[in-house]
Amino acid sequence: MALLGPNGAGKTSTVETLEGLRAPSAGRVRVLGLDPISERSRLVADIGVMLQQGGVYPVMTPDQALRLFAAYYADPLDPADLLERLGLAEVAATPWRRLSGGEQQRLSLALALVGRPRVLFLDEPTAGVDVHGRATIREVIAEQASQGVTILLTTHEMAEAEAVADRVAIIHRGRLAVSGTMDELTSGGVRFGAPAGLDVGNLSAALGATVIETVPGSYAIDADTSGSLVGDLAGWLASRGLSLSDLRSGASLEDAYRAVVGELALAEASVDRGLSGRPATSGRRRRR
């Protein structure tokens, strides 16, 4: 599950509350049926934690840190195998403080995995990681998920959430705004790419459905995919000598995210201005 939200939305606070590092200000928190604070000693054996940053002795090498953490657990993974899997074998003897940001993140992930957790909490696992490192981290996350490990990760990157998550929760100002499967959040509508600045009024009339330009060069049609719609669209563009690119049904996660967060921000702005009534919404079409 990917936890998304703007800066300050409460992603890290949520994760830390689940890990037992922060007491809930209201409500009840259970992880694997256990209270993360009062039953911490039972829970910690089954969870793996990757903090947003730090968490490792700066003087320790990946090899030393993994062997130390392995000693905390009853049936740990082999530290040497983990170093190899996370691409850290070459820097196994380099102190943490001299590792690159990406290597530090991969070591943090290795430390979260060493105890064979049933639940993994990953707070921005690919922040500051290069392309190769990201691929490694995503592969490992996918492997863990396929083995039945529950994973909660926070991220700012929609592409990452789309790549690894089955479910998405979007939070805004400490409240859950939307939660659902990736399909639920990205269904509906048709998206396409074409040169910027199309006459969307004319196109809407031609297609019999509302078309908006979400960002320059990207368009959304408020209709389900059908053969005739696609044919009409292609014909309309062809008659003007324009090319069609990136045609797909459904919104991208980024569109869905922008719609939810933008709508909430707009609603708050309306309340701030003392306006009454629910703000006009066009769901996923709205941009902030």
Partner 1 sequence: MKALLAQTRAEVTMTLRRGETLLLTLGIPLLLLVFFSEVRILPTPGIASVDLVTPGILALAIMSTSMVSLGIATGFERGYGVLERLGVTPLGRGRLLAAKMLAIVAIEVLQALCIVAVGLLLGWHPTGGLTGGLVAAAACLLGSVAFGGLGLAMAGRLRAEVNLAAANGLYLVLLLLGGMVVPLKSLPVGIRSVAEVLPAAALSSTLHEAIGPVSGYTGCWIVLVVWGLGAPLLAVATFRFRGD
- Contacts to partner 1 by CB under 8 A: 19-21, 40-41, 44-45, 47, 49, 51, 53-60, 64, 67-69, 71-74, 111, 115
- Shortest Å distance, C-beta 74 to partner 1: 8
User: What burial letters (b/e) apply to 38-49, b meaning 16+ CB within 10 Å?
Assistant: eeeeebbeebbb
For 227-257, the three-class secondary structure string (H helix, E strand, C coil) is: HHHHHHHHHHHHHCCCCCEEEEECCCHHHHH
Contact between 254 and 227 under an 8 Å Cβ cutoff? The reply is no
- Shortest Å distance, C-beta 58 to partner 1: 6
| Closer residue to partner 1 (CB): 69 or 219 | 69
| Closer residue to partner 1 (CB): 72 or 101 | 72
Paired with 214 in beta bridges are none
**Which pair of structure tokens corresponds to residue 71?**
């000693």
**Judging by beta carbons within 10 Å of its beta carbon (0-12, 13-18, 19+), is residue 9 exposed, middle or buried?**
buried
- Shortest Å distance, C-beta 150 to partner 1: 16
Helices (H) and strands (E) in the chain, counts: 11, 10
| Closer residue to partner 1 (CB): 115 or 125 | 115
- Shortest Å distance, C-beta 115 to partner 1: 7
| Closer residue to partner 1 (CB): 103 or 255 | 103
Sorted by sequence, the CB contacts under 8 Å of residue 171 that are 6+ apart come out as 3, 4, 5, 9, 10, 11, 14, 177
| Closer residue to partner 1 (CB): 121 or 219 | 121
| Closer residue to partner 1 (CB): 44 or 83 | 44
- Shortest Å distance, C-beta 136 to partner 1: 21
**Cα–Cα nearest to 19, from 108, 112, 104, 86:** 112
| Closer residue to partner 1 (CB): 19 or 255 | 19
**Which pair of structure tokens corresponds to residue 72?**
């905390």
- Shortest Å distance, C-beta 123 to partner 1: 11
- Shortest Å distance, C-beta 9 to partner 1: 20
Q: How far apart are CA 263 and CA 278, in angstroms?
A: 10
